[in-house]
C-alpha cells in the first residue's frame, strides 16, 4: 500500500534561518507531488507541484522553493524564513492524470518567531 511521510511534525525557527521540509512517498512510482500551505485563518493554498524528477511548477510567488531530487522525494526549502512563512504545510501525492484523487501527509506546523 502507498504511504506518505512528512517530517518534522512541528518546527519552530527564527526569522532569517533556513528551512528544509521533506516529504517521501512509498509504494508507488512516478507520483505527482504537491506542497500546500494553510496559513492561520486562510484556506489551503497550492505552493508547488511536480510531475517528475527535477520538474517543479510554482503556483504563487514567494520566499520558498521546492526540489525533487528523487522520484518519491519532495523537499520544500527557504534560504531565509519570514514571519509570514508560518503555517501548516502539507505534502500530497497522486498518480496518473492530475484529476486523480490526492492523498495527504500528516503535515508540518511551522512557527517562525
Partner 1 sequence: KQEVTQIPAALSVPEGENLVLNCSFTDSAIYNLQWFRQDPGKGLTSLLLIQSSQREQTSGRLNASLDKSSGRSTLYIAASQPGDSATYLCAVLGTALIFGKGTTLSVSS
By CB under 8 A, name the binding residues for partner 1: 6, 34, 36, 41-46, 49, 59, 88, 90, 98-99, 101-107, 109
- Residue 104 CB, nearest approach to partner 1 (Å): 4
Which position has the grid cell 502539507?
90
Q: Judge contact between 38 and 57, C-beta under 8 A.
A: no
Q: Which is nearer to partner 1, 28 or 45 (CB)?
A: 45
- CB nearer partner 1, residue 79 or residue 101: 101
Alpha helices of 7-110 — where are they, by DSSP H?
none
**Residue 50 CB, nearest distance to partner 1 (Å)?**
13
- β-sheet bridge partners, residue 88: 38, 109
Cα dihedral 43/109/49/59 (nearest 10): 50
Residue closer to partner 1, measured from CB, 26 or 79? 26
Residues in the chain: 113
Q: How far is the CB of 74 from partner 1 (least distance, A)?
A: 15
Amino acid at each position: 500500500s502507498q504511504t506518505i511521510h512528512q517530517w518534522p511534525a512541528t518546527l519552530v525557527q527564527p526569522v532569517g534561518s533556513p528551512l528544509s521540509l521533506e516529504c517521501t512517498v512509498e509504494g508507488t512510482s512516478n507520483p505527482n507531488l504537491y506542497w500546500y500551505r494553510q496559513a492561520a485563518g486562510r484556506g489551503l493554498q497550492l505552493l508547488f507541484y511536480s510531475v517528475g524528477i527535477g520538474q517543479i511548477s510554482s503556483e504563487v510567488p514567494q520566499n520558498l522553493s521546492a526540489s525533487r531530487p528523487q522520484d518519491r522525494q519532495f523537499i520544500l526549502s527557504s534560504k531565509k524564513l519570514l514571519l509570514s512563512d508560518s503555517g501548516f504545510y502539507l505534502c500530497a501525492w497522486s498518480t496518473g492524470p492530475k484529476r486523480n484523487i490526492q492523498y495527504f501527509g500528516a503535515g508540518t506546523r511551522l512557527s517562525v518567531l
